[in-house]
Each structure stands twice: as structure tokens, then as C-alpha cells.
Chain A
Amino acid sequence: MAEKPSIHGLVADFDSPDKLMDAIKAARKAGYTKMEAYTPFPIHGIDDAMGAPPSILGYLVLCGSAVGLTIAVLLQWWTGAVDYPLVIAGKPFFALEPSVPIMFELTVLLSAFVAVFGMIGLNGLPKLYHAIFNYSGHRGITDDRFVLVIEASDREFDATATRDFLAAQGADKLELIEA
């Protein structure tokens, strides 16, 4: 006998970003804290409205840049001046000036890797299953629907009261989704 599936939260489906934003602000005012918005494109100011902290990706990328730069310097210095010093046209074995192009390129390369894989990692991807895909209208999220989910784990969550609250915000559709 399978266990009865638990509830992930209540979906409210809106037809415009403005309605979604108003609903988020109202939900915050009403004391809800555990919510997530799903939209077809990034909406300006949504993180502030939801009280989400800014992305830490920038700091991660900075670490990537530092690693890239360090590798480039060590690589060129160690191979050219330590492991296999070779006189070529009387040039010094290691100097900063001719090392600049590769220092730059490796800095950019490592930073880009961290930016992309860091973004994917911070977003918890790849992940092919998520509760939102249980919402019958989830296909609209990548088209033209603006969805707010108030999660069942929220202290203020109450199946009836939350439904009434979200209906009052002008949602076109309300649906409880399984976890």
C-alpha cells in the first residue's frame, strides 16, 4: 500500500507579471515566507519582493578567476623557467609581458566555467523531477503564465485560507500539487 502523497503547496496561476508581483507583495504582507514564483522570463524586482537574498555566483566566479590566473602564471613560469628552460632568441625564461595573453585567457576560461557550472549547481540542476511539474498547467510557465506557489511547509499555510487569499489576488486558476 503506497503512502498517500504529501502536498507540496498551492499553485496560483496569473496571466500577467504585474498581477504576480502584486500577489507576491500581498502574500509577504500576509505573513507567508515559503513561496516560489515561476515565470517565462526574469521579472525585474521579483527577488526583492520575495525577500530572496542576492545570488552568490559573483563571488564564486571571482574565486574561479583567481584560480585561472594562478594556474596561468605557474604554468608559464614552471614550464619555461624551471622544468625545461630553453633559450629562444635570447628572451628571458619567464617575464610578465609575454605571459599576459595566456594569463588573461585562462582567467576568462576558468571564470566562465565557474559562472556556467556554478549557475547550474546553485539552481540544483540537472534535476528532471520537481513538484511543480505535477501542476496540470505547468507547461504554461515556459510560455505566458506567471505562477506563484505557496508551499505547504509554510507556517501560515492552510489549504482553505490560503486558497481564499490567492483567489482574492486575481488568480485564474488554483491547484494543490503533490510533492
Chain B
Amino acid sequence: MAELSHTQELKERLTPSLTTGHPSFHDVTEAVSIISEVKTHRNWYIALAITTSITGILGLMLAYLVATGVGVWGNNSPVGWGWDITNFVFWIGIGHAGTLISAILFLFRQKWRTSINRFAEAMTLFAVACAGIYPAVHVGRPWRAYWLFPMPNEFLNMWQNFRSPLLWDVFAVSTYATVSALFWYVGLIPDLATFRDRATTKGRQMAYAIASLGWRGSATHWKNYEKAYMILAGLSTPLVLSVHTIVSFDFAVSILPGWHTTIFPPYFVAGAIFSGFAMVVTLMVIARWIYKVEHLVTMTHLENMNKVILATGTIVGYAYATEFFTAWYSGNPYESYVFFISRATGPYAWAYWSMITCNVISPQFFWFKKLRTNLPFMFVISIIVNIGMWFERFVIIATSLHRDYLPSSWGYFRPTFVDILTFFGTFGLFLTLFVFFTRFLPIIAISEVKGMMAQNHHEAHYLDEAVAASEGKEPVGAAH
């Protein structure tokens, strides 16, 4: 009997409720395709109107900045990095959950990732697009932003400084954006072919035929496809860890107290995953409700993501504590000053304690199953976490910069309306891209979900036989 309960438990663990209610392969195709096939709903136009208006604000603010100069931002001396770099790190960090779900969980054979990876990867791309705006305009003369890349040109008679972490960052972020886009596209090809084959109008058929490159799902196709997917997952895994590591080098390689610490790479990566998962939860709670895909994106998916938020949030809290310990234990007066005076009790104490409340305290509620499976509650917490993670980047940047070694050069950073509206506008861009994505592309990886269903069916069948054998009965799953 002990053996039986073990087998049953194994069965439950091997076949988590990836999809509920035993849909057929065709049901999956139908559920995902219909989202993009039905007549465009009035609400979609309303959503698009709102998000593009907000994107318009971003456009106006950027135009104003380009026409006037970076002085329209609140950046000053000593706080030369203000909201621009804060927002850059914020958006890049959000992207990390997408790659974690698509690559790392793939390599770890976490089946539950299948229903959410497409959505999370889209989030990565859109977040990186928002992030990329900031360094490009922060250079001051954005029309010369291409000087960041080693391209010979007639104006710049010298080469980039490859010994600077800022240049490493250029390579890290652009590689990350490119590889994420490629990975996303490879995943999309078979599903675009599904859309092509279901198309009812000539225009739609042509568009998806071109986008899917004429995919026909032959065994040869799948063989090379699976190899490519596996390789891309293997490449993306160290890549995603490297991106926030290199972003953290922008700070850690300098010699400012509060930045010059070896804990930064792992601490930044954990924070990035923390904020990214929170953003996936925020978006997923809304999307599964609007598009009625609760049977594909189940509570198990959301609960698993909340567990990741709890784990990474706790790591982030531990990192905050470690920073304080190291500052005290090092005996370095400047280091101690930044943490104990500037951050905890200084002029930015309000930001510091907001960060602690949002990042360290709020995820701890997810220890309780009731709370981490409660939709409105997780929605609120996921937003609080992202507010907290924005504050984390702001605290790191502003508190280390605003008080120099010379008290005569101390200052305080205040955002201008351009700072605030630019940041607000990036949400418009992020959401506009999402609005288009959910309308024209398969928001759930159709072929992957089907493949997983087939695999689950096999394992369930095998385990049913094992259970039945230990009971001496006919297998339950034999009828399938």
C-alpha cells in the first residue's frame, strides 16, 4: 500500500495540472487561435487608444529632450544618473523573468512553463525595448548613439574603450535583445503556421505564410527545430545571468561607496528575476481573464510564479542585510556612512524604507497557500513588488551619488515633469506592444502545449499501469 501511494504521488508530481479538464489537441489550437481570429472587439480599440496616447506622451517628451538637451531631466551634479538609469535597470530587470521561464525552466524540464513562456518572452522583448531608450537618449546627442558600437566613421577618429563596463553593457544589452528576439521568433514559427492554415482571408493567409517561412511540420523540420531550441535555451541561460551581472558592473566596477561591492552581480540577478516574475503575474492575471485561457494558464502556474517571487524576494532581503553587515564589518567609514546614514536615515530614507516594505515584507505573505492562490491579492502584491524594485534601483543610484566625499558638493535629486512623463510613457510603449501582440500573435505556445500534453499522456498512462499493477486491476488510463 505504501508503494501504491508513492506511485500515485509520483504521478501527481510528474503530471501537474498543466492544462485542466483534459482538452484535446484541437481544443488547444482553437482556444489560442480564436483570440486572434474573432472580430476585433471594441474594447481592443479602446485599449489601443489609451496605450498609444501614453506612448505619444513618451514621444513628445523624447522630442522635447532631443530638441533641448538632457538638462530637461532632473539629473545634476553630483547625481548624474537619475531616473534614466533607474528606469533602464528597472525595465531590463523585468525582462529577465521571460528568459528565465523560456530558457532556464526549459533546461530544468519544468513543464508548467509551457503555457506561459510565449507571454513571458514577449514581455522580455517589450521591456528591453523600453530599457533601450534610456541609455540611447542619455548620451546627450542620441543621433550619435551609434558611436557606442565599434563602427568606423568619419567623425569619431578613435575606438571605444573596451576596458569600461559601460561598453560591456552595450554589448550585453544588445546581445540580449537580439538573442531574445531570435528565441521568441523560433518558438513562434510553428504556431504562425497554425494561424496560416486556419486563415480564412487571403491577406491573413499570406501574412502568416510569410511570417512562418513556409513551415510544414515535417519530422526533419522538427529535428532541426528542437536542436535549435535546445541550443538557444542553453545559450540564453548564461546570457540572462550575464546581462544583469554586467549591468551591475556599471556600478560595482566604480569605486563609489555603496556601489563598489562584490555582492552586486548575484543580488542584481535575483532582483531582476523577482521583479520580472511580479510583472508576469500582473500581466497574466489580466490576460487569462480577458482571453479566457484559465484552463491553459491555471492557478498552479500562478502559484508557482508566486513561489519564485517569495524565493527571490527573500534572497533580495538577505542581500540588503548582507550589504549592511559588510559595511559595518569592513570598518570602512565611507561604506558605513552610505548604508547607516544616507540610506537608512538620510534624505532618501523614505525611498529606502519604501523599498524594504515592498520588497522584503510584501512577498512574505506568499508563505501562505491561501494568499498565493488568491487572484486579487497576488495582483496587488505583484504591483507592490515592482514598485519596490523600482525604488531599489533609485536608492542604489541616488544615495551613493548625492553625497560625495566632499560635503561641499552634496546635492539632492528631484525629478522634473519630463522625467516623470517619460517614465509614464514607457509604460504606454510596453502596453501598446502587448496590445498588438495579443491581437496578432499566438499568446500561448500551441505546439509546445500539445507536445507536453502528449508527453504527459504517456507518463500518466505508464503510471496508471503501475498503479493498476500494484492493485491487480486493469489500467485506468487504458481506455484512452
Q: List A residues at the B interface (Cβ < 8 Å).
A: 17, 36-44, 46-47, 50, 52, 54-55, 57-58, 61, 75-76, 79-80, 83-84, 86, 88, 91, 98-99, 101-102, 104-106, 108-109, 111-113, 115-116, 118-120, 122-123, 125-130, 132-133, 138-139, 141-144
Q: List 18 A-B contacts (CB under 8 A).
A: A42-B223, A80-B162, A101-B171, A105-B168, A105-B172, A105-B175, A109-B178, A109-B179, A111-B235, A115-B232, A118-B224, A126-B214, A130-B216, A141-B217, A142-B193, A142-B196, A142-B215, A143-B198
A66 to B448, CA, bound (A): 31
B197 at the interface (CB under 8 A from A): yes
Contact between A139 and B218, CB atoms less than 8 A apart: no
Counting chain B CB atoms within 10 Å of each CB, the highest count among A39, A83, A115, A130 belongs to A115
CB distance from A32 to the nearest CB of B (A): 14
Contact between B217 and A123, CB atoms less than 8 A apart: no
B145-163 interface with A by 8 A CB criterion: 150, 158-163
Contact between A57 and B217, CB atoms less than 8 A apart: no
Contact between A112 and B182, CB atoms less than 8 A apart: yes
A102 to B159, CA, bound (A): 15
Contact between B231 and A111, CB atoms less than 8 A apart: yes
Contact of B450 among A40, A98, A106 (CB under 8 A): A40
A105 to B245, CA, bound (A): 12
B420 at the interface (CB under 8 A from A): no
List 16 additional A-B contacts (Cβ < 8 Å) besides A54-B223, A79-B160, A142-B194: A38-B218, A42-B226, A50-B219, A79-B150, A105-B172, A108-B175, A112-B235, A115-B232, A119-B225, A119-B227, A126-B214, A138-B197, A139-B198, A142-B447, A143-B197, A144-B24
Contact between B239 and A108, CB atoms less than 8 A apart: yes
CB distance from A101 to the nearest CB of B (A): 4
Q: What are the residues of chain B within 8 A of A43 when measuring CB–CB?
A: 219, 222, 451, 454
- The answer to whether residues A120 and B213 also contact, given A41-B454, A105-B171, A138-B197 and a CB cut-off of 8 A, is yes
Q: What are the residues of chain A within 8 A of B186 when measuring CB–CB?
A: 116, 119
B25 at the interface (CB under 8 A from A): yes
Contact of B225 among A36, A123, A132, A138 (CB under 8 A): A123
Q: What are the residues of chain B within 8 A of A116 when measuring CB–CB?
A: 182, 185-186, 228, 232
CB distance from B203 to the nearest CB of A (A): 15
Contact between A125 and B217, CB atoms less than 8 A apart: no
A130 to B196, CA, bound (A): 15
Determine the main DSSP class of B at the interface with A: helix
Contact of B163 among A61, A80, A119, A129 (CB under 8 A): A80
Nearest B residue to A101 via CB reads B168
Q: What are the residues of chain B within 8 A of A128 when measuring CB–CB?
A: 209-210, 214
B183-202 interface with A by 8 A CB criterion: 183, 185-186, 190, 193-194, 196-198
- The answer to whether residues A133 and B216 also contact, given A43-B454, A104-B242, A119-B186 and a CB cut-off of 8 A, is yes
Contact between B29 and A144, CB atoms less than 8 A apart: yes
CB distance from A89 to the nearest CB of B (A): 8
CB distance from B478 to the nearest CB of A (A): 13
Counting chain B CB atoms within 10 Å of each CB, the highest count among A46, A101, A128, A144 belongs to A101
A26 to B193, CA, bound (A): 29
Contact between A42 and B26, CB atoms less than 8 A apart: no
Contact between A47 and B219, CB atoms less than 8 A apart: yes
Q: What are the residues of chain B within 8 A of A76 when measuring CB–CB?
A: 162
Q: What are the residues of chain A within 8 A of B179 when measuring CB–CB?
A: 108-109, 112
Nearest B residue to A139 via CB reads B197
A6 to B43, CA, bound (A): 51
A86 to B161, CA, bound (A): 9
Nearest A residue to B157 via CB reads A84
Q: What are the residues of chain A within 8 A of B415 when measuring CB–CB?
A: none
Contact between B213 and A52, CB atoms less than 8 A apart: no
Q: What are the residues of chain A within 8 A of B168 when measuring CB–CB?
A: 101-102, 105
Contact between B175 and A58, CB atoms less than 8 A apart: no
CB distance from B109 to the nearest CB of A (A): 13
A83 to B235, CA, bound (A): 32
Contact between B163 and A98, CB atoms less than 8 A apart: yes
Nearest A residue to B246 via CB reads A101
Q: What are the residues of chain B within 8 A of A144 when measuring CB–CB?
A: 24-26, 29, 450
B292 at the interface (CB under 8 A from A): no
Q: What are the residues of chain B within 8 A of A104 when measuring CB–CB?
A: 238, 242
Contact between A55 and B163, CB atoms less than 8 A apart: no
B141 at the interface (CB under 8 A from A): no
Q: Which 8 A-B pairs have the closest CB atoms?
A: A119-B228, A144-B25, A41-B451, A79-B159, A126-B213, A101-B168, A42-B222, A142-B194
B394 at the interface (CB under 8 A from A): no
A99 to B161, CA, bound (A): 11
CB distance from A29 to the nearest CB of B (A): 18
A127 to B218, CA, bound (A): 13
CB distance from B30 to the nearest CB of A (A): 9
Contact of A113 among B182, B194, B242, B450 (CB under 8 A): B182
B238-263 interface with A by 8 A CB criterion: 238-239, 242, 246, 249
Contact between B231 and A122, CB atoms less than 8 A apart: no
Contact of A118 among B164, B178, B228 (CB under 8 A): B228
Q: What are the residues of chain B within 8 A of A80 when measuring CB–CB?
A: 159, 161-163
